[in-house]
Structures are given as C-alpha cells and as structure tokens.
Amino acid sequence: MKTVVVTGAAQGLGREVAERFAKAGWAIALTDIQPLDALAEMLTMEGARVSALSGDQSDPAFVGRLAAEVERVHGAADVLVNNAGISSIGPAEDMPPAQWERVLSVNLTGPFLLSQAFGRPMLARGSGAIVNVASVAGLGGVIHRAAYNASKHGLVGLTRTLAAEWGGRGVRVNAVCPGWIKTEMDAKDLGSGAYTDADIENRVPLARFASPADVAEAIEFLASASFVNGVCLPVDGGWTADSSWDALRLKTRD
Ligand SMILES: NC(=O)c1ccc[n+]([C@@H]2O[C@H](COP(=O)([O-])OP(=O)(O)OC[C@H]3O[C@@H](n4cnc5c(N)ncnc54)[C@H](O)[C@@H]3O)[C@@H](O)[C@H]2O)c1
C-alpha cells in the first residue's frame, strides 16, 4: 500500500486531497496546525490506514517529529503533497515585517523543510514524488499580496530546482498553480471585502471558481505521472493564458 503525506489536511483543498487518495486506496498521513481527530476517525471508519499529527510546519522540530511518526506508522512516504499555506492581503507599503516573515515561513520554508525531511528517504530508496501547491500568484503579480506572491514564486522556484536536483535519483517534484478555489481561505478573503465572486468569475475564461476537486484531480495526476517532472501546472480555468481585458472577455459570453 502506498502512502501519501498531506499537509494542511484539516480543511479546504488538503482535506479534499486526503479524501481522494484515501478513496483510491492509499494510506494517508495527515498533518495540519489544526486538530485532525475528526477527519482521521472518518477516514479510518471508511477503511483507510491513517495517521495524524498536528503542528506548525514552519517549525523544524515539528517537521522532524512528523517524519519520524510517518516512518514509524507507515514505513515510508511515497508522495508528499505540500498543500498547507496562509493568505495575506494588504498594501505592500503597510505590511509589518513580522507578517512578511510569517507568510514566507509557512508557505515557503515549511514546504522546503518537509521536502528535505521526506525527500531524503525518497532519495535513499530511489523513488518518490512531491507535489507543491503554489498558485497563479506564483506565476504573476497580484496586487496587495506581496508576501503571498513572493512565497508562491519561491515555491515555483523550489519546485523547479528540486526537480532538476533530485530527478536523476528517482524523485519527481511538480507543482499545481491554482486560480481561485472555493475553500475556507476564499471565504475568509471574500469576507474581508478584498474581492467579489463576480470579480473572479469575470476574470476566468471558464467563468467560475475552481472546486477543491478540480485541483485535487491535477494533484493526483502529478503524483503518478511517471515522466512529468519540474512542471508548475496552472489549474486556473485559463486565467494565466488570457491577457484580454474584462469587457472583451465578457463580450464572448453574450
Ligand atoms: N483558496 C484559493 O483560492 C487558493 C488559490 C490558489 C492556491 N491556494 C493554495 O492552496 C493551498 C490550500 O489552500 P486552501 O484554500 O485549502 O486554504 P485553507 O485555509 O482552507 O486551508 C489551509 C490549511 O493549512 C493549514 N495551515 C495553515 N498554517 C499552517 C501551518 N503553519 N502548519 C500546518 N498547517 C497550516 C490550515 O490550518 C488549513 O487547514 C494553500 O497553499 C493556498 O495558498 C489556494
């Protein structure tokens, strides 16, 4: 039985990824800064082999404990999905340095530490795959998201570098770059008044938000696609492909 480690599994996209892999017969190692007991119990009742450990992924001591726990329970991790992340919205000139540091720590240093901790045994075995959850904000600038965008651009760079460095030893590293997804993160950001549903629906050629399932499907593909390495795949309904202005795009929907 293969094992996947899913970070940020308590809600949103991470939860969807955990449920999807569990249904496909994988053993699941859940982790999140929030409690995971209810999800672990539900997946176990459905027949999955599950471990769960809560903690802060930006803390190297926690990541070390997590790697030891996954090895103890599952033996080895075949796939790591670096999904956990936090958003941060506001004018760049007003961002407190501590907030910048926190976003970079969680969204970039965390995935790096996890890639090291789970990548070392993958390299020793000569096989494994890592899928990082970046964003369209890792491929282009988005106003009022300086730290978030820097962290996701960093994650894209880390993905490409690890793919180059580890590919020859059997470890593939890829990323998904989703557009806006309907999750708890989106509900919080929408609630702050930063944007509306219509803003996003008008901007996306497919004229809707992504669902967690839309993105989880792409993550599952990258986890298993044997000759795909170093790809940062937009899962964005055409957002990054489309340089049109909104009025022109909306005309095509008449
Ligand atoms: N929702 C979107 O529109 C969107 C778009 C593009 C990319 N993403 C990315 O997708 C990923 C998942 O986002 P989501 O929308 O499901 O968000 P979410 O806020 O619903 O879930 C994120 C999860 O990460 C966990 N987490 C936060 N900080 C952590 C830490 N320090 N250590 C461990 N776990 C921590 C949270 O507790 C939460 O369960 C994130 O990396 C996000 O940046 C989201």
Q: How far is CA 196 from CA 44, 182, 200, in A?
A: 38, 12, 7
pLDDT digits (tens, 9 = 90+) for 6-40: 999 999 999 999 999 999 999 999 999 999 999 99
What pLDDT shows up at residue 191? Answer: 86
Extract the tokens encoding 70: 């996954």
Catalytic residue among 21, 62, 148, 209: 148
Cα angle 50-214-20, degrees, rounded to a multiple of 5 = 15
- pLDDT class of 217 with cuts at 50, 70, 90: very high
Extract the tokens encoding 121: 């045994």
Is the distance from CB of 191 to CB of 124 less than 8 angstroms? no
pLDDT digits (tens, 9 = 90+) for 121-151: 999 999 999 999 999 999 999 999 999 999 9
Whose Cα sits closest to atom 8 in ligand 1? 135
Is the distance from CB of 159 to CB of 132 less than 8 angstroms? yes
Extract the tokens encoding 246: 């909104």
The SS3 of residue 87 is coil
Domains of the chain plus CATH, in order, are 3-183+211-243 (3.40.50.720)
Residue of 5, 6, 32 best suited for mutating to test ligand 1, as the one with most atoms within 8 Å of CB: 32
Does 110 score more than 90 pLDDT?
A: yes
Cα 15 to chain centroid, rounded: 11
